[in-house]
Structure 1
Amino acid sequence: MDLKEIQNLIKFVAKSGASEVKLETGDVKITIRTGSDEKETTVVQQVPMGGQPMQQMPVQQQQPAAPTQPAQESAETKEKETKPEEDTSKYITVKSPIIGTFYRKPSPDKPVFAEVGTTVKEGDVLCVIEAMKLFNEIESEVSGKIVKVLVDDSSPVEFDQPLFLVDPS
C-alpha cells in the first residue's frame, strides 16, 4: 500500500464520520482514528508475518474538513430564511403510535383518508401504518380540521413521529 492510497483512505474515513477504522492487509496494519476536536491520528505499521513491527511510518496529520456551504443557495432555502416561522402551538399533533410505513390511502386505487382542509371527528381514520405485514388504522384523537400532513405517502415512520397537525377550533 503506497502513501497516496493511505491518504485517500484517510480522506474517505474522515468524510464517512467513522471514529476509528482498522485495516490489516498482508504485512501492513493501519489504524485511523478521527475526533471532532482532535486531529486525525494514523499509524501505519509494517509487520513481517508473525513478528514485531519493523517500521512505524507516521502519516501526515490532517484537520477534518469543515463542511462547506454551497456558493448558491436554493430559492427554497432563501424563502425559509425570510419567511417567519408559523406558529404551530395552537395545533394538536397526531403522532405515530408504532414504527412502520405510512400510507395515506387504504389501497393504491382509493382516495386518501384525510387531506389538508378536511374536517375530522374523533375516531375518524387518518392513515394506515404497515408494520410486519399488518395494516394498522390510525384514528384521530381529536375533532378538528387537518392543517398539515407532515409525512409523505409510503414513507417509513418512527414511534412518536408527528404525522398530522390538527386545528381543534
Structure 2
Amino acid sequence: MKIDKTLIKQLSEYLDEFKLTEIEFTEKDTKIKVSKNNVSINNQTTPITQNAANLNDNTKKISKTSSGIEITSPIIGTAYHAPEPGAKKFVEVGKKIKKGDTVMIVEAMKTMNHVPSTADGIVKEVCVNDGQPVEFGQTILILE
C-alpha cells in the first residue's frame, strides 16, 4: 500500500484552515485519519457575568475567586469524568495530578478523546458536570 503524502498534507492543512482537531478520509479500502491535540493553559481569572448566574442547575459556574491554571476543552463534545459509567473518576477536587495525566474524556462524533493535564497541580475546581456538553476552549478544570 502506498501512502499518499499529498492527501495527508491537504488534510493537515484543513485542520488549521477550519480550526479542526481531527479529520478522517475514507475511500474504498483506504482510511486516513489526521488529528492534533490543542490543549491550552490560561492563567487568567474568569469573572462571573450576570448571564452566567442565570445558567441552569446542570452547569457548574466558575466562582468569583477562581484563579489558577485553567485546563480547557480541546474540542466541542460531551465531557465525561470517568472512562465508563460507574467507574472511578479521573480527578476530584483536592487530588494531585501531573502533566500528561488524563483529567477527563470529551466525546465528539463517537470518538472518546482523552484530555491530558497541561501542568502539575492540585485540582481546585471541576468546572463541568459529568455528561455535560462543552465548547472548544471552555474551562473544564482549575488547578492550584
Report what 2:88 is aligned to.
111
Report what 1:126 is aligned to.
103
Measured in 1, the distance between the counterparts of 2:100 and 2:137 equals 18
TM normalised by structure 1 equals 0.47
Write the letter of the residue equivalent to 2:72: K
Instruction: Report the Cα offset of residue 109 of structure 1.
Output: 2.5
Measured in 1, the distance between the counterparts of 2:92 and 2:64 equals 22
Higher relative contact order (CA 8 A, sep 6+): 2
Count of residue pairs brought into register by the alignment = 82
RMSD across aligned positions (CA): 1.3
Q: How does 1:60-71 map to 2 (within 5 A)?
A: none
Which sections of structure 2, spanning at least 5 residues, go unmatched?
1-62
Measured in 1, the distance between the counterparts of 2:72 and 2:119 equals 12
TM normalised by structure 2 equals 0.55
Q: How does 1:1-169 map to 2 (within 5 A)?
A: 85-86=64-65, 88-89=66-67, 91-167=68-144
Report what 1:40 is aligned to.
none
Measured in 2, the distance between the counterparts of 1:85 and 1:94 equals 17
Which sections of structure 1, spanning at least 5 residues, go unmatched?
1-83
